[in-house]
Amino acid sequence: MRPLAVIGNVNIDLILGPAEPWPKAGTEIIVDHDELRVGGCAGNSALAWESLGVGYEIAANVGNDQFGTWLKEAFGARSRNWPVEAVGSTLSVGITHPDGERTFFTTRGHLPLFSFDEVRSMLDGRRLRGGLALLSGAFLTDALTLAYDQLFDWADAHEIAVALDTGWPLDGWTEANKQKTIRWLKRCHCALFNEVETTTLTGQLDPLLAARSLKAEMPADAIVVVKRGPDGALAIGRDGREYAVAAPRVAVVDTIGAGDVFNAGFLAALAAELPLEACLRTGVTVASEAISTLPRSYGKPLSALVQETRQ
């Protein structure tokens, strides 16, 4: 296995729902489900790696409240050096809808204070040499995002391939946000965007054409992945070959974090040097298991999935 790391947003997720119809202002409704759990793109991916039995490192920060303490406890020794900021922890309330979609209300909290100096103090570049680093939450981690060029320089110096999943911009895909993202992708070796993000970012309505457009902006050996929800996922490999896998039909319970879980499965398989199509299939399989189980499960450990692929 190549070394794995994730850098980015870990926060509290409070999940409530399903809500239908949307309540009028000043009213109250009762929902059937609630869950308080570790969230954020980086947190969701790390928890999936944990369940898959994959070794990894994580660089994140927390606030100086009970939520921050709880978040650190959830990651044990891996969070030992996480900085504690002098603000409350970021809280994201996710309201689910009967069709599996969701709406988020998120506080700024501790995430904007996360910095590159903090990342560098937590991750050992020599130990991660030749590995993969998932960079997530770009539009939430303000201080770190301003230092992305330094982060990319650090990764290049240690031959660490960066996989980018920015998440949805708080102010939408403005022209400025599109230009920033393309500039970041020029320094990355893997793009992990969902279908709406990919097509919006490129202006191409067809997801494959959109993926080709992103590939043209990235290093020659980059991989572009488009996560398509119930339609599975597609990818363009380092050599330009194109792949697509379907998703199994499942009874959806909760889609929150599905893309983050896909990222974990895909990158774990990539770190295990599986073929790209098998990496896609692993990501789809793990994400499909996660969104259809309560309490959430991630299925078989990676070692079993790898063995099945190589038989």
What would the mean pLDDT of 217-241 be, rounded to a whole number? 97
pLDDT value for 308? 84
Rounded to whole angstroms, the Cα distance separating 198 from 186 reads 15
pLDDT value for 311? 67
**What are the tokens at 301?**
């450990």
Number of Cβ atoms within 10 Å of the Cβ of 309: 16
**Position 290 confidence tier, pLDDT thresholds 50, 70, 90:** very high
What would the mean pLDDT of 262-279 be, rounded to a whole number? 98
DSSP single-letter state for residue 164: E
Quick: pLDDT tens for 151-201: 999 999 999 999 999 999 989 999 999 999 999 999 999 999 999 999 999
Distances, alpha carbon 68 to alpha carbons 14, 49, 65, 82, 298, in Å: 14, 21, 5, 10, 25
Q: What is the pTM of this model?
A: 0.95
Question: What residues contact residue 76 under an 8 Å CB cut-off, 6+ apart?
Answer: none
At 159 the three-state DSSP class reads: coil
User: Quick check: 309 pLDDT over 70?
Assistant: yes
